[in-house]
Structure 1
Amino acid sequence: MPTSPDRSLWADRQFLLLASARTISVLGNGFARVALGFAVLALPGATPGRLSLVLACQALPQLVFVLAGGVIADRMSRARLMVAADVVGAAAYAGLAAVVLSGHAPLLLMCVLAVVAGTATALFAPAMDGLVPLIVPAGRLQQANGMLRVGTNSSLLLGLALSGVAVAWIGAGWALALNAASFVVSAVLIARLRVPGRAAKASSGWDDLREGWREFSSRQWLWVVVAQYAIVVAALNANVGVLGPLVAEAELGGARAWSVIVAAQALGTIAGAGLAARVRVNRPILVGVLATFPAALPIALLAVSAPVWLVAVAMFCWGIAADVFAVLWSTTIQREVPEAALSRVSSYDLFGSLAFAPLGLLAAGPVAGLVGTRQALAGCAVMIVVATCAALLSPQVRRLGPAALASRSERRGVAASGTADEGPA
């Protein structure tokens, strides 16, 4: 049942289970984010192109299967789907850890395991986005989203801060094994959630997809920002996944230096999530889009060979801005979109935002080899600025305010009340 509005969210068993599960699994992901890249770079004959290939194999299934994940999440218990996704993710990262630790890590096998890990994410993410409104009252969604991100970002910071040391001391394989263990713990905690059941649907999966598309495409602010982030995410992935590690390996001191830079971003996201949980703005989408501009700064600094500390400061600032955007964005979608279609709309959001992510990863290595890493980084920074300026041309992006959010939230509650019955997860 939803949390009582007069109780602390941290005192609510449902919210505490969900927050704990996410915090633990994200801690493991902090290790894996650094470990996977350096595990590939440590392979005999490793090249930027091979690193791009493995990371693209992880990202591509997130794009291919996320729409199916949204349909499934709106047709069954979202909690059960999240448990299944965690189990699949644990198996994938355990396999990656095993092949790396064995000393025999064929590129093809690593690509296959990366595909499995990406598929698990595609199933998990839409269900997670749709689960929060089922356990948190509508009036506390922004607070809940902010608190969840404070917890997950804090654990990501810890994971990233320790990841460089872990890779250097115990190796990338053990870091990947820790991520697999974190997925198992997450699955156990989510399995204990009790959420409203879902009424059986007579419609087909294709009908559900079309209905989700109508909900998504009818909101200009939604598809405009998703189109913006298709470009932004591609540029960010190219930087974090390929170009940044290449610069770190060649000029900044390797895994330790890069872990400091990405940990600075994680530290910023903690501050950003705490701020976003409390901030009240009249135009949340406008503020969120404006908060995207700082993403270009650390990439531009890497392009001009700035020192590690300056890049880290810029990443900290981007971390703050990124979570202000993320909390305002998630809360607006949860308030605007009917609960029965929320996971499908979230899947279209993820599909659009990730549309160019595999291309960014695949192209980053070859482009860096062709024009140089610094020139490729400069191009990524320009892409972010141009895409963000274009999003600001939308009237709904500039004008969507609390009045619209309040009225549509009421309609959302009426629609949701007739679509679910009470039952265990």
Structure 2
Amino acid sequence: MTPAAETRRRLRRPSWAGRNYSLLTAAAFVTNLGSQGALIAAAFAVLEAGGDGGDVGLVAAARTLPLVLFLLVGGAVADRLPRHRVMVAANALNFLSQGAFGALVLLGEPRLWQMMLLTALGGTGQAFFSPAAEGMLLSSVEGEQAGRAFAVFRMAMQGAAVGGAALGGALVAVVGPGWVLAADAAAFAVAGALRAFLDVRDLPRRAPGGGLLADLREGWREVSGRPWLWGIVLQFSIANAVVGAADAVYGPLVADDHLGGPGPWGLALGCFGAGTVAGALLMTRWKPRRLLFVGTLCVFPLALPSAALAVPVPVAVLCAVMFLTGVTLEVFGVSWMTALHQEIPEDKLSRVSAYDWFGSVALVPPATALAGPAESAFGRPAALWGCAGLVVVVTAAVLCVPDVRHLTRRTQRVTGRAPEAGPPPGWYPAESSADPEGALGGQG
């Protein structure tokens, strides 16, 4: 083989990285890179306009509230309309809202209600985008390499998140938050243009349903009929809530009192992000056979950061804990996507994804709001130990679900509803189950 031919062979996309997958991955990288910087820029825009910490929280809540309210509707819409059109429309709404936010900041002093309104429009776009995007991604890969494809996708997203946060923070300091918000708007425009080129000709046509409520009920039947699915969604409803409260409220306070300020806390969060990239890289090679059993075991370390803050441990130990947590949580994330891909019928992916997203975010706002009163009532160390304990309890409870322990990796997805009786989905007797890759074995 000539050197030129060898170079072409190395640069050729792997068979599992088709056109749609490549476009989706590139678009997700671009939007994640911009959005992470925009989160920092939005907070500083509020502060520079004369707001305080409470106002920053109101702007953040303005994004979360419509996300919770419209997620289920967004999932039903994405399974009724062409998903790529829903994604492009949502990107257009995010482009307009972030562009207007950036323009307000650059042109003068934005009012709090204006920032809340524009942020709420962005959250609404995200509510319709997320179920459509996950359904589209899960539909874009097939066969035994699906797990590797999801791992590479998540590695691109997590890498963009780490880089975007670092770049965004630096740019806010150099050019100001308005330009960073404008750059995020441009990222949404680029991503929307990429997603407009998705090829949907080979996707199965979805029969029209009986209305929005009927679609939502059908999606709920898909979730409620699978104990492994609703069990893990419920698990992460609680786990995400308490971990979100610990990271958003207690982490900065512990850092300020014991670790030396925001710098060490930012370093610890960066180590978590690096861990997620390393975990996704690991999952490009590792294909555990019992997907959810191994994945759920890897959720237990999610309790470690809260416990480390409760002690509190030195900065170096905290960084190591955060890195390990990022690695193991990404093992779960790839395993979870692989399980959804092989078990959920294609025409219901977005509705199931919407229930998954809803469970992941619904309890975060009240948990964050209750973090302060819990600290006053029980003390900060006790509240943090409580967060760690809840993660352990709900994760152990999920392991009691037989389907979680027995669901097995397969190379073909289901084409209809799971049977109401019989073996758990994806379960096979040990003597007949096959792991084609030779690998042993993992939200919301």
What's the TM-score once normalised by structure 1's chain length?
0.86
Contact 2:249-2:371 within 8 A present in 1 as well: yes
Per the TM alignment, residue 72 of structure 1 is displaced from its structure 2 partner at its CA by: 0.8
Q: How many residues align?
A: 405
Give, in whole Å, the separation in 2 of the partners of 1:57 and 1:104. Answer: 19
Contact 1:70-1:126 within 8 A present in 2 as well: yes
Q: Which moved more, 1:132-141 or 1:364-373?
A: 364-373
More helix by share: 1
Higher relative contact order (Cα pairs below 8 Å, separated by 6+ residues): 1
Superimposed CA distance per residue, residues 67-94 of structure 1 (whole angstroms, 9 cap, x where no aligned partner): 1111111111111111111121222333
Report the AA paired with residue 185 of structure 1: V
| Percent sequence identity over aligned pairs | 40
Give, in whole Å, the separation in 2 of the partners of 1:266 and 1:252. Answer: 19
Per the TM alignment, residue 303 of structure 1 is displaced from its structure 2 partner at its CA by: 3.1
Give, in whole Å, the separation in 2 of the partners of 1:99 and 1:51. Answer: 16
Report the AA paired with residue 183 of structure 1: F
1:368–1:51 Cα change, 3 Å: farther
Match of 2:100 in 1: 95
1:164–1:371 Cα change, 3 Å: farther
Superimposed CA distance per residue, residues 329-354 of structure 1 (whole angstroms, 9 cap, x where no aligned partner): 01101110110111111111111222
Superimposed CA distance per residue, residues 200-256 of structure 1 (whole angstroms, 9 cap, x where no aligned partner): 515211111111111111100100010000011112322343433444566656654
* Residue 408 of structure 2 is aligned to residue 401 of structure 1: yes
Q: Which moved more, 1:317-326 or 1:158-167?
A: 158-167
Q: Which moved more, 1:293-302 or 1:312-321?
A: 293-302
* Residue 180 of structure 2 is aligned to residue 175 of structure 1: yes
Secondary structure, aligned partner of 1:411:
coil
Instruction: Choose which of 23, 31, 40 in structure 2 pairs with 1:34.
Output: 40
Match of 2:20 in 1: 14
1:10–1:336 Cα change, 3 Å: closer
Match of 1:286 in 2: 293
1:35–1:262 Cα change, 3 Å: farther
Contact 1:335-1:412 within 8 A present in 2 as well: no
Match of 1:44 in 2: 50
Structure 1, unpaired ranges of 5+: 1-5, 415-425
Give, in whole Å, the separation in 2 of the partners of 1:226 and 1:328. Answer: 14
Which has the greater radius of gyration?
A: 2
Give, in whole Å, the separation in 2 of the partners of 1:62 and 1:233. Answer: 15
Instruction: Choose which of 189, 195, 198 in structure 1 pairs with 2:194.
Output: 189
Match of 1:70 in 2: 75
Per the TM alignment, residue 103 of structure 1 is displaced from its structure 2 partner at its CA by: 5.7
Give, in whole Å, the separation in 2 of the partners of 1:70 and 1:57. Answer: 20
Give, in whole Å, the separation in 2 of the partners of 1:140 and 1:229. Answer: 26
Alignment of 1:95-114 (within 5 A): 95-102=100-107, 104-114=109-119
Per the TM alignment, residue 400 of structure 1 is displaced from its structure 2 partner at its CA by: 1.9
Report the AA paired with residue 104 of structure 1: E
Give, in whole Å, the separation in 2 of the partners of 1:281 and 1:224. Answer: 20
Instruction: Choose which of 409, 412, 415 in structure 2 pairs with 1:411.
Output: 415
Alignment of 1:327-342 (within 5 A): 327-342=334-349
Contact 2:16-2:146 within 8 A present in 1 as well: no
Q: Which moved more, 1:311-320 or 1:335-344?
A: 311-320
Aligned-residue CA RMSD in angstroms?
2.8
Alignment of 1:226-375 (within 5 A): 226-248=233-255, 252=259, 256-365=263-372, 367-368=374-375, 375=382
Alignment of 1:195-206 (within 5 A): 195-196=200-201, 198-199=205-206, 201-206=208-213
1:319–1:342 Cα change, 3 Å: same
Secondary structure, aligned partner of 1:138:
coil
Report the AA paired with residue 63 of structure 2: Q
Per the TM alignment, residue 100 of structure 1 is displaced from its structure 2 partner at its CA by: 4.1
Give, in whole Å, the separation in 1 of the partners of 2:19 and 2:411. Answer: 28
1:225–1:320 Cα change, 3 Å: same
1:276–1:192 Cα change, 3 Å: same
Superimposed CA distance per residue, residues 351-380 of structure 1 (whole angstroms, 9 cap, x where no aligned partner): 122221221233335545666655544432
Give, in whole Å, the separation in 2 of the partners of 1:376 and 1:92. Answer: 37
Match of 1:418 in 2: none
1:256–1:353 Cα change, 3 Å: same
Per the TM alignment, residue 269 of structure 1 is displaced from its structure 2 partner at its CA by: 0.9
Superimposed CA distance per residue, residues 313-341 of structure 1 (whole angstroms, 9 cap, x where no aligned partner): 21111111111111100110111011011
Give, in whole Å, the separation in 2 of the partners of 1:134 and 1:150. Answer: 19
Secondary structure, aligned partner of 1:401:
coil
Report the AA paired with residue 186 of structure 2: A
Match of 1:422 in 2: none
Report the AA paired with residue 144 of structure 1: A
Match of 2:59 in 1: 54
Report the AA paired with residue 129 of structure 1: E
Superimposed CA distance per residue, residues 279-319 of structure 1 (whole angstroms, 9 cap, x where no aligned partner): 22232111111111112212222333434333222111111
Per the TM alignment, residue 99 of structure 1 is displaced from its structure 2 partner at its CA by: 4.0
Report the AA paired with residue 176 of structure 1: L
Report the AA paired with residue 295 of structure 1: L
Report the AA paired with residue 308 of structure 1: V
Give, in whole Å, the separation in 1 of the partners of 2:296 and 2:47. Answer: 35
Q: Which moved more, 1:168-177 or 1:269-278?
A: 168-177
Contact 1:265-1:312 within 8 A present in 2 as well: yes
Secondary structure, aligned partner of 1:229:
helix
Structure 2, unpaired ranges of 5+: 1-11, 419-444
What's the TM-score once normalised by structure 2's chain length?
0.82
